């Protein structure tokens, strides 16, 4: 599966993060934001180790794929051992699997071999992404950039939705933007809303994740429109 989403010509893609949806009405929540213009669904997987929280796993991804056969499913792994989850998420219908630079060697003792992991993700038929946390310098990403369909810059420390945007990540975003090719998406995640999104887009982000600002809004369509137009 290659990155099949077509960019909105003058704007950014909006990735609806289901972490802030009403879990008891997940299908209706996703249908609603997709009908209102969200381009794809962002699935936050937390293992209770890399971050303290526990969220959802491959069964949620499989259920979304069953209900939404054509929607791009962007799975963000906040887990210590992403290599344990490549095959299960491929089987569950994920379109893209992203993992954190912080769990890769040499950043962590016994860390994952990121080159091998990217190759496995591709071999399993998915797009591959790498994610970087706010305090982490970006140079560790450099060896992988040419192989990735997506780089995800966290603009909050991962673990939950509803946190405040950290503007210090914008410098790093510009640094990454200069080094990726046109085939690589630059996604930003955390604290994005119509007020903060223009800074993200101006720094180079072309895919905006939103959870609380979207699912918590009374007028979700307007939030999506504003994010699509951010920075233009």
Write out the residues near ligand DX5 by the rule CB under 6 A: 17, 19-20, 42, 44, 76, 156, 158-163, 189-192, 209-213
Q: Which of 47, 74, 127, 189 is catalytic?
A: 189
150 binds, among ligand DX5, Zn ion, none (CB under 5 to 8 A by kind): none
Nearer to Zn ion among residue 143 and residue 156 (C-beta): 156
Nearer to ligand DX5 among residue 5 and residue 156 (C-beta): 156
Beta carbons within 10 angstroms of residue 31's beta carbon: 13
Catalytic annotation on 225? no
User: Residues 6 or more apart from 6 whose CB is under 8 A from it?
Assistant: none
Min dist. Cβ of residue 211 to ligand DX5 (A): 3
82 binds, among ligand DX5, Zn ion, none (CB under 5 to 8 A by kind): none
Considering only residues 36, 65, 76, 120, which one is a binding residue for Zn ion as defined by CB under 5 A? Answer: 76
Number of residues that bind Zn ion (CB under 5 A): 3
Interface positions, 169-198, toward Zn ion (CB under 5 A): 189
Q: How many whole angstroms separate alpha carbon 117 and alpha carbon 120?
A: 5
Nearer to ligand DX5 among residue 126 and residue 207 (C-beta): 207
With binding defined as CB under 5 A, does residue 44 bind Zn ion?
A: yes
Q: Annotate the chain with three-state secondary structure.
A: CCCCCCCCCCCCEEEEEHHHCCHHHHHHHHHHHHHCCCCEEEEEEEECCCCCCECCCHHHHHHHHHHCCCCCEEEEEECCCHHHHHHHHHHCCCCEEEEEHHHECCCCCCCECHHHHHHHHHHCCCEEEEEECCCCCHHHHHHHHHHCCEEEEECCCCCCCCCCCCCCHHHHHHHHHHHCCCCCEEEEECCCCCCCHHHHHHHCCCEEEECHHHHCCCCHHHHHHHHHCCCC
Catalytic annotation on 87? no
Nearer to Zn ion among residue 45 and residue 118 (C-beta): 45
Q: Which of 39, 44, 47, 74 is catalytic?
A: 44
83 binds, among ligand DX5, Zn ion, none (CB under 5 to 8 A by kind): none
Min dist. Cβ of residue 48 to ligand DX5 (A): 13
Catalytic positions, please? 44, 189
Q: Which residues bind Zn ion (CB under 5 A)?
A: 44, 76, 189
């Amino acid at each position: 599966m290659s990155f099949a989403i077509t960019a909105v010509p003058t704007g950014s893609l909006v990735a609806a993060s289901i972490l802030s949806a009403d879990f008891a009405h997940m299908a209706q929540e996703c249908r609603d934001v997709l009908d209102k213009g969200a381009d794809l669904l962002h699935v936050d997987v937390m293992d209770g180790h890399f971050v303290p929280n526990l969220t959802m796993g491959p069964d949620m991804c499989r259920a979304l794929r069953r209900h939404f056969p054509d929607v791009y499913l962007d799975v963000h792994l906040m887990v210590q051992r992403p290599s344990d989850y490549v095959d299960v998420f491929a089987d569950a219908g994920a379109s893209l699997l992203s993992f954190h630079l912080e769990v890769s060697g040499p950043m962590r003792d016994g860390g994952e071999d990121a080159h091998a992991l990217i190759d496995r993700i591709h071999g399993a038929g998915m797009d591959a992404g790498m994610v970087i946390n706010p305090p982490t310098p970006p140079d560790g990403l450099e060896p992988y950039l040419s192989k990735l369909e997506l780089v995800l810059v966290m603009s909050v420390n991962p673990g939950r939705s509803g946190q405040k945007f950290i503007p210090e990540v914008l410098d790093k975003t510009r640094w990454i933007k200069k080094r990726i090719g046109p085939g690589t998406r630059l996604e930003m995640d955390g604290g994005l809303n119509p007020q903060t999104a223009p800074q993200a887009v101006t720094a180079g982000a072309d895919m905006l994740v939103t959870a609380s600002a979207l699912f918590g809004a009374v007028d979700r369509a307007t939030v999506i429109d504003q994010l699509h137009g951010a920075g233009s």
